[in-house]
Amino acid sequence: MKKLVAQQQLEEIKQDFRKFVYVLWKHLGLPDPTPVQYDICKYLQNGPQRMMISAFRGVGKSWLTSAFVVWLLLNDPDKKIMVVSASKDRADAFSVFVKRIIHEVDFCLHLKPGKDQRSSNISFDVGPARADHSPSVKSVGITGQLTGSRADIIIADDVEVANNSDTQTARDKLSEQVKEFDAILKPLPTSRIIYLGTPQTEDSLYNKIGDRGYQTQVWPAEMPSEAQIPKYGDSLAPLILKMGLKVGEPTDPKRFDAEDLMKRKASYGRSGYQLQFQLNTALSDEERYPLKVSDLIVSQLDGESAPMTFQWLPHPDRRVGGDIPNMAMSGDYLYYPADNSDVTMPYQGVVMSVDPSGRGKDETAYAIVAQLNGYLFVLDAGGFAGGYDADEVLKPLAMLAKKYNVNEILVESNFGDGMFTTIFS
């Protein structure tokens, strides 16, 4: 009779991932899962084929997804699952935890690898699985050997971190690397790619995968304001909106109460907290990158005078397009002025700033900036190949200084001391 009851419970566990997590958490001696954790479980089980989970630090999304891998294998031992992270150590820790669950939980013991099966911590089979080229679970770093395997489920756990997303070149490289997932994924209706992570910037890979058919849900640590909610788009988890919380109240007080979040906010700083716990890159980047290209005004100028006043208005109708490149982050644009005065006056001063290349292969860069009525006007900027002692650099700089009636020349002191002595002596 007891065996029959146990079997009935096992069938319930196999049908509902939340029940599996409840039993597993009891086994691990953890507190009962929280409503937010249960909501993540529900999304893992019923989410789309291509999905992204973005939840505050410490909610346990990696632990929940490790448990989800075991639950998938419990239901179908022939599934092939690949875990990918920014570093191989991170991916390996994920698969090691999966293997420990299999070895420690009584109703999962039949999933232990057999004598003739792969059984390493980073690549192993489960007992009932049929023979296959690909292991049941495999962990790999995003820069590792992704090709050569096939998978039903790909778990991308923190593939984007600060080190591989701090420049546009690094972000472009990462964006190309994750495209390999589509070559690995089996062409089955049950195949899935699941991202777990925290965006590092507004230009994050995670903010762009929606264009590739991924659906994102976000669970912030505290209730956002009415002004902040639209910044999440349609990604804010419905549970958050249904909680009826006041602005700033914790969404998962069993994990982090208001006092705890306040301490973390003081420790992380406002921008770090917005990124790590509120998952809103637009808010974070406003703090981390306060100077935007939209703060500039793009206008036709001459070399001698300019209008006395300009009206700044970053409206879509005034957005700069065409052949002018915009290297800013997503959502940041260059704009023409809304209007300017008819009264013009000569510039009140013109400065040329030079960054010499020394005798290396880098260019000698320059910028010419004029001032009038509190406005700064960039009249010219560019560079010349060659060192500070080359005539093909010094003469063009001297001609530019003469063309714009430069009053003062500022030279960066790295190898450039005295570079204008020859020109103006």
Residue 385 binned pLDDT confidence (cut-offs 50, 70, 90): confident
For residues 358 and 199, the model is more confident at: 199
Within 10 angstroms of residue 235's Cβ, the number of other Cβ atoms is: 16
Quote the percentage of the chain above a pLDDT of 70: 91
What per-residue string of b and e applies to 311-331 under the rule 16 or more CB within 10 Å gives b?
A: eeebeeebeeeeeeeeebbee
Task: Give the per-residue pLDDT at 305.
Answer: 92
Rounded Cα distance, 168 and 201, in Å? 11
Task: Give the per-residue pLDDT at 5.
Answer: 31
Residue 201 has pLDDT above 70, yes or no: yes
Task: Give the per-residue pLDDT at 102.
Answer: 93
- 3-state DSSP call for residue 211? helix
Please state the φ and ψ torsions of residue 66, each to the nearest 5 degrees: -60, -45
Instruction: Tell me the two tokens of residue 356.
Output: 């010499």
- 290's CB contacts (< 8 A; 6+ apart) are none
For residues 144 and 14, the model is more confident at: 14
pLDDT (mean) for 72-97: 94
Helices (H), 294-412: 391-403
Angle, helices 61-75/2-15, rounded to nearest 10 degrees: 120
Residue 325 binned pLDDT confidence (cut-offs 50, 70, 90): confident
Rounded Cα distance, 334 and 147, in Å? 41
pLDDT (mean) for 221-249: 91
Q: Would the pTM of this model clear 0.95, i.e. be above it? A: no
Q: Are the C-beta atoms of residues 153 and 65 closer than 8 Å to each other?
A: no
Task: Give the per-residue pLDDT at 211.
Answer: 85
Residue 35 has pLDDT above 80, yes or no: yes
For residues 6 and 150, the model is more confident at: 150
Task: Give the per-residue pLDDT at 361.
Answer: 65
Rounded Cα distance, 347 and 307, in Å? 10
Residue 287 binned pLDDT confidence (cut-offs 50, 70, 90): low
Task: Give the per-residue pLDDT at 424.
Answer: 45
Task: Give the per-residue pLDDT at 389.
Answer: 67
Residue 391 binned pLDDT confidence (cut-offs 50, 70, 90): confident
Task: Give the per-residue pLDDT at 285.
Answer: 60
pLDDT tens by residue, 400-420: 999 999 999 998 875 545 555
Residue 330 has pLDDT above 70, yes or no: no
E runs forming strands in 101-229: 123-124, 137-141, 153-157, 192-196, 215-219
pLDDT tens by residue, 38-51: 999 999 999 999 99
Give me the chain's average pLDDT, please.
Answer: 87
Q: Is the dihedral of CA 76, 80, 84, 87 positive or negative?
A: positive
Residue 54 has pLDDT above 80, yes or no: yes
147: left (phi over 0), alpha (psi -120 to 50) or beta: beta
Q: Tell me the β-bridge partners of 93.
A: none
pLDDT tens by residue, 116-136: 999 998 899 999 999 999 999
Q: Residue 7, class by beta-carbon neighbours within 10 Å (0-12 exposed, 13-18 middle, 19+ buried)?
A: exposed
